[in-house]
Amino acid sequence: MIEAILITLSITILIGLVLGYASIKLKTTGDPIVDKIDKILPQTQCGQCGYPGCKPYATAIANGEADINQCPPGGDDGIHKLADLLGVEYKPLNAEHGEPKPKSVAIIDESTCIGCTLCIQACPVDAIVGAAKQMHTIIEKECTGCELCLPPCPVDCIDMQVIPETTENWKWKYPIYKIEQQN
Amino acid sequence: MNISDKIFKFFGGIKPEGHKQISTRNPIKRLPLPKELIIPIRQHVGKMPNIVVKIGDRVLKGQILAEPVANMSAATHASTSGYVKEIKPMNIPHPSGLPDQCIVIETDGKDEWIRLKKIDIENISLSNLLEKLKHSGVVGLGGATFPSHIKLNANRIQTLIVNAAECEPYITCDDMAMQEMTQDFVDGVNLIMHILNIPKTIIGIEDNKPQAISKLNSVLDSSKNIHLKIIPTVYPSGDEKRLIYLMLGVKIPKEKRPTELGIQVFNVATLISIARFINYGEPVISRVVTVTGALGQPNNYQALIGTPIQQLIKDAGGDPSQEVIMGGPMMGFKLPHTDVGVTKAMNCLLAVTDEMKSKASTEMPCIRCTKCVEVCPAQLQPQELYWHAKSKQFEKLTDDYKLFDCIECGCCSYVCPSNIPLVQYYRYAKSEIREQAKSSEIADIARDRNEFRLFRLEREKKERAERNAQRRAQVSDEDKKKLIEEKKVAIEAAMKRVEENEE
């Protein structure tokens, strides 16, 4: 009788120790599904989805609080990828959150800028350089085109400029052939 | 050293009708100097060179118009003397039809050279020579336009392979160049062997060029270890990897370059331009262009870079409104505009024949006959590539079907009984995949920057809180009272002043 209890007890303690050790040593930091969703999101950080950035939106999707069709910059492709990842049905983009736009960058009209620093504070990726009462400028390479710098500007000196197609960023198009009717 | 005469046949390939005789009847022709030259600034793979002339400048033949900005860049020269008329984005021979920066030169008819300096090849360091070549505008004239000075920056090369296969139908510019500029060509081979210390050279040439072969046989000295290997006419034997296999039986592994295996490949026209630069100091200002197809008198032209192609087509008995392909019928593309100038990449202008037109118009469904599999020299599964490209399943294309091993040779489209433009689907899929990789890179940077910003804001908040706490801790209770007193006095004084003023 006592032997049986002892054996059971020792097994329990052993398993307990192993599990305890594993829970500390093999702990996953962060939620892997959030990272996977975040990887699909375009990282524009525009907040059109209703969350203050891509990571918070990814977290909300993972928690089932947000739908997969709230990201206009991600577009249709992004929704398809999210649907594939999460094993849910594809839905068209929710128009409440805006429409997909061509990729653009913000341009500051430097002669109008008064140097108020409001846009610098609004930029989610620190892509605006400038100081108080000094002209500001945008690092075009880092700009995600989120448009968050537009509303705070008191003199309306920021414009969104669509990135033009050049021979460098040009892509081969999907082959489409006109069907000609034979007479 | 003995090089086996064995020819290693590669898998697949096709034997299309050559159509080469029509443009080799006459010697290479030269056009009278055009009134205007349209010279695109970037005619190579790599960075856009920096324009160094202004509108109105007089330029001499061979003068640099744009300087290379980085190592992966090349110079662009004026092809004759004249005045810089315009510098602006204009149509260029590019499949997109998008404009790019060009310089228009109004020629003055004098054709006056800059002072040319030949290079003393025995007494120049390799780095100096490469720097000079960078400014010579020499790029791969086979069509890839890869800057040659980068290819010459290699060591331990055991074999130089000269790509004289010219396997694509209709194109005959290398054939004619070998016949008429034999000495320059052989000089080019010898110079490369000398510069890179290469012990042996094999010239790979297809057996459909008997004149060029006999001409080369008469000048080549086999004691110098330059061998001519005559290969059967199979398209695409001129593809770099296919040619290396044909010559040496060596397969270049995926993601490795031939230089890593001690092999370097140069094209005929490139060797000629290297020889002309080193022996005479001449930069690349002209090239041989085959003008052929549905024209009255197909011919080869020694055309100045920037020559309007309509003049070439007209001279060859064509109509400027004709549809024109740049390159050959297999790998070329239809020119979106014909108001463009000759570029370094332009080996052939092919006026579209009725036969080609009829093939392009009727695409039918894939019947899974796998004829394409039998001819694919890269040993891919073209029909699977097509299905997945069509349904935009890009991950499968790269992971399972190795789309990026496709050399876009067009063999699959050629044999397809359903006339499916397979290569166009692959090109589309390739550029989509490249674009996706690029945007995910950009997204990663944006994510990092956003995370750092959030971290920075948090840190600043904490630091401010700490500073405030510290300041509060430093001020003693007495000091605080004193401060309050002082403020009270100041306020009272101010109130008094206000009252006095009111009175």
- Nearest residue to B74 (alpha-carbon basis) of B65, B86, B83: B65
d(CA A100, CA A74): 8
Residue A83 DSSP SS3: helix
- Over residues B189-212, the mean pLDDT reads 91
Does position B80 have pLDDT exceeding 70, yes or no? yes
* Whole-angstrom distance, CA of residue A94 vs CA of residue B478: 63
Cβ contacts of B94 on chain A, cutoff 8 Å = 167, 170
pLDDT at B480 over 90: no
Distance, in Å, from the CA atom of B351 to the CA atom of B322, rounded to the nearest integer, reads: 7
Peptide bond into B417 cis (omega under 30): no
Three-class SS of B192-237: HHHHHCCCEEEEEEECCCHHHHHHHHHHCCHHHCEEEEEECCCECC
Q: Which residue of A has its CA nearest to B452?
A: A125
Complex ipTM, two decimals?
Answer: 0.81
Question: Between chains, do A126 and B452 touch, taking CB under 8 Å as contact?
Answer: yes
What phi and psi values does residue B199 have, to the nearest 5 degrees?
Answer: -70, -30
- Predicted confidence at residue A83, as pLDDT, reads 92
Chain B residues whose beta carbon lies within 8 Å of the beta carbon of residue A166: 98, 100
> Minimal Cα–Cα distance from B437 to chain A, Å?
12
pLDDT tens-digit map of A141-151: 899 999 999 99
Whether the per-residue pLDDT at B502 is higher than 90: the answer is no
pLDDT value of position A183: 52
Q: Which of B320-324, B326-330, B452-456 has the lowest mean pLDDT?
A: B320-324
Single-letter amino acid, residue B240: E
Scan residues 151-170 of A and list those with Cβ closer than 8 Å to B.
Answer: 165-167, 170
Asked if A177 reaches chain B (Cβ–Cβ under 8 Å), the answer is: yes
Residues B2-13: tens digit of each pLDDT: 456 788 889 999
pLDDT band at A169 (very low <50, low <70, confident <90, very high): confident
Q: Quick check: B116 pLDDT over 70?
A: yes
Whole-Å CA distances, B483 to B363, B467, B475, B492, B497: 90, 20, 10, 14, 21
Instruction: Indicate the residue of B421, B440, B446 with minimum beta-carbon distance to A175.
Output: B421
Contacts of A180 in chain B (CB under 8 A): 361
Contact B68, B336 (CB under 8 A): no
Q: Which residue of B has its CA nearest to A42?
A: B443
For the segment B448-456, the average pLDDT, to the nearest whole number, is 93
Chain CA centroid to CA B367, Å: 36
Sign of CA dihedral B178, B179, B180, B185: positive
Contact residues for B482 (Cβ-Cβ < 8 A; gap 6+):
none
B444: which chain A residues are within 8 Å (Cβ-Cβ)?
43
Residue range B147-154: mean pLDDT, rounded: 88
Band the pLDDT of B374: cuts 50, 70, 90. Answer: very high
Average pLDDT value for residue range B10-20: 91
Percent above pLDDT 70 for chain B: 98
> pTM of the prediction?
0.84
- The verdict on a CB contact (< 8 Å) between B432 and A171 is yes
- Pick the residue of B449, B455, B457, B461 with the most A CBs within 10 A to test the interface with A by mutation: B449
Average pLDDT value for residue range B187-206: 91
Nearest CB to B94 within list A44, A45, A167:
A167
Distance, CA of B90 to CA of B422 (rounded, Å): 31
- Hey, are the CB atoms on B428 and A175 less than 8 Å from each other? yes
> What is the pLDDT at residue B428?
93
- Provide the residue type at A11 as one letter: I
Per-residue confidence at A174, pLDDT binned at 50, 70, 90?
confident
Q: What is the pLDDT of residue B225?
A: 85
Sheet holding B200-206, edge to edge: B226-231, B200-206, B159-164, B263-267
Average pLDDT over every residue of B470-492: 85
d(CA B396, CA B403) in angstroms, rounded, equals: 9
Q: What is the pLDDT of residues B21-62, one digit of tens each?
A: 999 999 999 999 999 999 999 999 888 999 999 999 999 999
B449:A174 CB<8 A:
no
**If pLDDT is split at 50, 70 and 90, which confidence band does B1 have?**
very low
For tokens 């398209």, what's the residue? B235
A59 and A50 Cβ atoms separated by less than 8 Å? no
Mutate one of A43, A54, A129, A146 to test the B interface: name it (highest B CB count within 10 A): A43
- The sign of the torsion formed by the CA atoms of B171, B176, B181, B184 equals positive
Q: Cβ(B78)–Cβ(B105) under 8 Å?
A: yes
A176 and chain B in contact, CB less than 8 A: no
A127 touches chain B (CB under 8 A): yes
Q: What confidence score (pLDDT) does residue B219 get?
A: 87
Distance CA B447, CA A34 (A): 14
Nearest CA to CA, how far is B252 from chain A (Å)?
Answer: 28
Question: Which one-letter DSSP state was computed for residue B326?
Answer: E
- Can you give the pLDDT at residue A181? 56
Give the residue among B283, B279, B281, B247 at the shortest CA–CA distance from B265. B247
Selected residue with higher pLDDT from B40 and A31: B40
In order of A25, A70, B24, the CA distances from A12 in angstroms are 20, 48, 91
Residue B156 clears pLDDT 70, i.e. is over it:
yes
Choice among A52-61, B133-142, B345-354, B494-503 with the minimum mean pLDDT:
B494-503
Nearest Cβ partner of B446 from A39, A43, A177? A43
| Chain mean position to CA B259 | 18
| Number of Cβ atoms within 10 Å of the Cβ of A115 | 13
Q: How many angstroms separate the CA atoms of B371 and A47, rounded?
A: 51
Interface of B with A (CB under 8 A): 92, 94-96, 98, 100, 361, 363, 421, 424-425, 427-428, 430-432, 435, 439-440, 442-447, 449-453, 456
pLDDT of residue B380: 93
Which pLDDT score is estimated for B477? 78
Cα–Cα distance for residue pair A105/B438, rounded to 1 Å: 16
**List of chain B residues whose C-beta atoms are within 8 Å of the C-beta of residue A45:** 446, 450
Q: Please give the C-alpha separations between residue B200 and each of A129, B158, B203, B243, B245, in angstroms, as whole numbers.
A: 57, 7, 10, 16, 16
By DSSP bridging, strand B159-164 and strand B200-206 are: parallel
Alpha-helix runs per DSSP H in B290-393: 309-315, 354-361, 371-375, 382-390
- Give me the pLDDT at residue B123, please: 87
Would you say residue B476 has pLDDT above 80? no
Q: What is the pLDDT of residue A178?
A: 55
pLDDT over 80 (residue B360): no
Arithmetic mean of pLDDT, A85-91: 91
CB atoms B95 and A172 under 8 Å: yes
Query: Mean of the per-residue pLDDT values for chain B?
Result: 90
What is the strand order of the sheet B50-51 is part of?
A: B50-51, B64-67, B76-77
Task: Report CA-CA distances (Å) from A80 to A77, A85, B443.
Answer: 5, 9, 18
| Dist. CA B40–CA A176, nearest whole Å | 30
